[in-house]
Amino acid sequence: MQRLIQANGQPHFGLFEQAPDEINYRDFDFRSPMGRPLGRLAKWRRFHQFQYFGLISDQLIGGCALASLSLAGIGFVYLFHPASGRMLEHQFKLPLGFGTDFSQRPNDGICELRSGRNLLRLENRGADKRLLVELRDGTRIDAQFSEAEPAFQPMCLNTPTATNGWVYAQKVAGVRCTGQITSELGEFDLAELGAFAHHDWSAGYMRPETCWNWACLSGQAGALRVGLNLSCGVNETSFTENCFWLDGELLKVDTVRFEFDRDEPLRPWTIRSFDGQVELRFEAHGLHQERMNLGIMASNFKQIFGRFRGELRPHGRPAVSIDNLWGFVEDQYVKW
């Protein structure tokens, strides 16, 4: 598929074997809930895009996100050292997205944020993905992975949202990661750490006020490379983004339920799928959180990292034991 939006102004919906070449949102026939055609300003204001790159190993955990929210460009990066409990965090908020540049080509483009001497960049070149972070405090992250060798099937999905929107999501988890990290926490070679990566490229016309939970893990379970992507609250209209990967093979999962204490998110979480393929318990070790309330825009965001235990039960196959694998959960409220 070359373009997500068809000639009639309507999106392609469903699960795709491969990503569209372009998320051509400007060609979308965007209308109000009452059917009135909306113009270019409304298309720009309501279109949101974000990208996330996560790193997982026993010795180092990291995450970097970029978001283009029309009225603001937002980015964050953090590194967590489990052995010492030390954490480095940096957040950036740029009015109207000045200093940001976002490509609408999921597999052929660059999304980046520049703020003074700080750079966050995510590069997508076909099956190859790269994270480059250079900060004024000397922190440098250069991490990459490939979906080509060994072969990996990303999850590519477009779902309708609310009355008049849609969300395209492209997810990867359970791939080996290479590269170098230099920071106050030390110097790290990701290949030597046996690090894994996960990646999220999402864009579209999301609900103006929404919330979601998300879970992701990547690691080695016995002889299998395992990745997991579960969500509740964004992409459950007609289709779901829920899935896990075994040695790069994509296996779909039904809807999921997150059970946790919103007031105490560092207490254990339980995550179960309706079809019985997922039964997991998550124990937190730390979190990255942000709160923002500007009236017309608001966010209450918690990304929590820790360890998963439980089972994945693919239909017609032996169960896969998940024993202390690192990963993430998320609790997010947003108005945009």
Q: How far apart are CA 305 and CA 286, in angstroms?
A: 6
Q: Is residue 5 part of a domain?
A: no
**Domain for residue 87, yes or no?**
yes
Residue 294, pLDDT > 90, answer no
Q: Is residue 4 part of a domain?
A: no
- pTM, entire model: 0.95
Q: Of 97, 52, 51, give the one whose Cα is nearest residue 74.
A: 97
Rounded distance, CA 144 to CA 62, Å? 13
CATH number of the domain at 122, please: 2.40.370.10
Query: How many CB atoms sit inside 10 A of residue 32's CB?
Result: 11
pLDDT tens for each residue of 124-133: 999 999 999 9
Kindly write down the DSSP assignment for every residue of 26-62, as one continuous string.
GGS--B-TTS-B--HHHHHHH-EEEEEEEEE-SS-EE
Radius of gyration from C-alpha coordinates of the chain: 19
Nearest Cα residue to 121 out of 112, 130, 129: 112
Residue 310: pLDDT band with limits 50, 70, 90: very high
Please report the pLDDT score of residue 234 as a whole number: 84
User: Looking at residue 296, what is its pLDDT?
Assistant: 87
In a domain, 57, yes or no: yes
* Residue 164 domain flag: yes
* Domain annotation covers residue 172: yes
Distance CA(312)–CA(226), nearest Å, equals 10
Give the total number of structural domains in the chain.
1
Residue 149 has a pLDDT of: 81
pLDDT 10s digits, 82-114: 999 999 999 999 999 999 999 999 999 999 999
pLDDT value, residue 235: 82
Residue 326 in domain: yes
Report which DSSP code applies to 248: T
Could you tell me if residue 3 is inside a domain?
Answer: no
pLDDT digits (tens, 9 = 90+) for 134-172: 999 999 999 999 999 889 999 999 999 999 999 999 999
% of the chain surpassing 90 pLDDT: 95
What's the pLDDT at 274? Answer: 97
Query: Which residue range(s) make up the domain with 98?
Result: 14-335
pLDDT of residue 236: 86
